[in-house]
Amino acid sequence: MSPRIPTSGLGRDRHGVLDARSLEPDGVRAATSRYDEAVRGLGGVDAATVELVRFRNANHQQCHL
Amino acid sequence: MTTRHGTSPSVNAARTDVGSAWRALVDVEDTIAEALDPAIVGICGLRISSILDNSGEADRASASLPSAKVAALTHWPRASPALTGMERACLAFAEQFVIDVTSVDDELVDAVASHLAPEVLYLFVRWVQSNEARQRAELVLRHDQEVRSSP
């Protein structure tokens, strides 16, 4: 599991590949880079957090979805 | 840290790296939101908080919206004159994105695209993504704190 948002700007679907970076204002691109850097600093997610996410999602599926 | 989303979940000193990532995520969301219609941000944020059972966020979002729109969301997806076609299209997209992103289809995207320019549509999707991630992170970090501080 990874909390990382895939923010490379490259998207692929059955229509082909889109480089969405051209659609991003400079401020958004800069904020995204800072986020990517901060997540890289985490170096992964510990097992306890993975279990907490699993527990939380299970609750949602039973009660809200 | 206090933002317009409220006070951040407490992160103990050993996990300041998590706090940094969370604050960076808040910054991404807020930066994107500046390029979007505040009404869209408000109602979609409220709907996402309802799906995720994030009551604190729901209270804050409700307070920032006209009461007619909040009331209309209570009965969503029933039609309401308080919600515009653009708002309904964005709500439907955001809702499906959060419940099951793999089920977002061309029809949902086309409905939003009929109201938003391509570059705004792209930013809207990025905003929904970051809002959902931020709200889920808040919930997990709070829960994490409760578990770690319990006797």
DSSP A2-63: ------SSEEEETTEEEEGGGGS-HHHHHHHHHHHHHHHHH-S--HHHHHHHHHHHHHHHHH
CATH class assigned to B15-141: mainly alpha
**Chain A contact for B65 (CB, 8 A cutoff):** no
SS3 content of chain B, % helix, strand, coil (to 5): 75, 5, 25
Residue type, B36: L
Higher pLDDT, B17 or B63: B63
The domain spans of chain B are 15-141
pLDDT digits (tens, 9 = 90+) for B26-75: 999 999 999 999 999 999 999 999 999 998 889 888 888 999 999 999 98
pLDDT for residue A36: 85
What average pLDDT score do residues A21-39 get? 87
Lowest mean pLDDT, pick from A22-26, A52-56, B88-92:
A52-56
> Residue A10 region, left (φ>0) first, then alpha (ψ -120 to 50), else beta?
beta
Using an 8 Å CB-CB cutoff, list chain A residues near B20.
Answer: 38, 41
Tell me how far apart the alpha carbons of residues B35 and B52 are, in angstroms, rounded to a whole number: 25
Q: Which of B2, B9, B5 is nearest to B137 (CA)?
A: B9
pTM value is 0.79
The residue among B47, B48, B130 with the most chain A CBs within 10 A of its CB, best to mutate, is B130
Distance between B84 CA and the closest CA of chain A, angstroms: 26
